[in-house]
A and B are shown apart, each in its own frame.
Chain A
């Protein structure tokens, strides 16, 4: 939970130089926004490049262990909505991150509902529009899922992102009571990732067929689909389905 900010200092020089190489071609390109920001990805990139001890013949880079959540550069002013939330709901904001003009807050799952309600109602925040609810899968991390809530305020015209980290079966409360727009979006997160969302009025599959097994958007789900789990011949699959249905009737 609190690994990322500490890692850049603990990781050492080797990951930093490896990470600096891919970052270098991108850094010299002319950047219009704040000059402070290019420093942030370079400093945080080591977190993504953490390598487990690799076998000698295995020269594929290890999968990233988590998103970079670069802290705001020194001297950047934290927006009022975040400071208000930190003051009103203690323990709600574990980490504040700033990257290319976007502010992100990492919120524990237990404080999500309180934080959400505050963000919607507080006059400094006024986040009445839930733009998006989505998730990312970082399988090598203990809490593999990152559930991301993108919020927008139609009155103050600013955006913020909330991130909740959740392990495989860890319950994440549903925000569809606060923003009804999150209803289908959370269904999709459940359908494609299998995040355990609690308190949702109708948590059923939305894009995949209702009786589908598995959660396709996870990193360990093959791109081609279940393969041998689905019979080679569609007729076999139909026969199996009929047999299953007959068994149910009995």
Chain B
């Protein structure tokens, strides 16, 4: 009873809270990191070094006037941000933060659940997020958001193909769709998969940037073009949900990349005995550090690179990434058969 209901509930609450706090603090982290790259300081006023800025932002957004455009479709207008946020959050159900730990006389695995089609679950749930964007643009009942949402959804769908192809080659390498088993196979192989599948890693990273609408693929939300993209008409808490969903997606992509390519909760060189001193750092700490490294690279890329034009972005997805991904699958297959 406790095992089937109570412990998963505690884990869910814990992960959900941790994720939401992480997402709000991602906002601050982005502003700070980009500011430091740009020779500025970022938010400094609210709290020491601006630490309480996200709380100020949250309070502001909650207290804002709730404006719905006059001819907008009310139910869809409200549902759209939810449809973007929820898939990002429920992905965390299958992400493994660590192996089993021994607590209170029980073996508690550091993941909410281990579905044996975990990777497939993640990819499918992420696709539902696209609906939220399309509906958001549609429900606003205005020219610019509609155009922008169509562009954003086309971009997301195209890059999903590339990312999924990449994941196929990874599944072939790992031999399983379950997230926990992928990490364990990295342990068995003694190598993080980034060394085994470098091409897949690069493709996944670029695809991840495009999937989360981050620079250099953020044409859909670039202010200079269509004044705010698909969330032009949103304000207050609904806008906050869109905004936070983008960061939640970023964290999901980073977490998935960590699990698949950087060995999840494993320390570097997990099989080498004399480096076991690295095991002093708990496994979930390793996981968080690697995820954080990924997030930092996301922010770094945003501060540095110019933005792709929409047609160049689509061309990159279809004509460059997908062929390379397919080629990667073929090569992986050949290597697997021969060795």
Direct contact of A and B (CB under 8 A): no
A contacts, CB < 8 Å to B: none
B contacts, CB < 8 Å to A: none
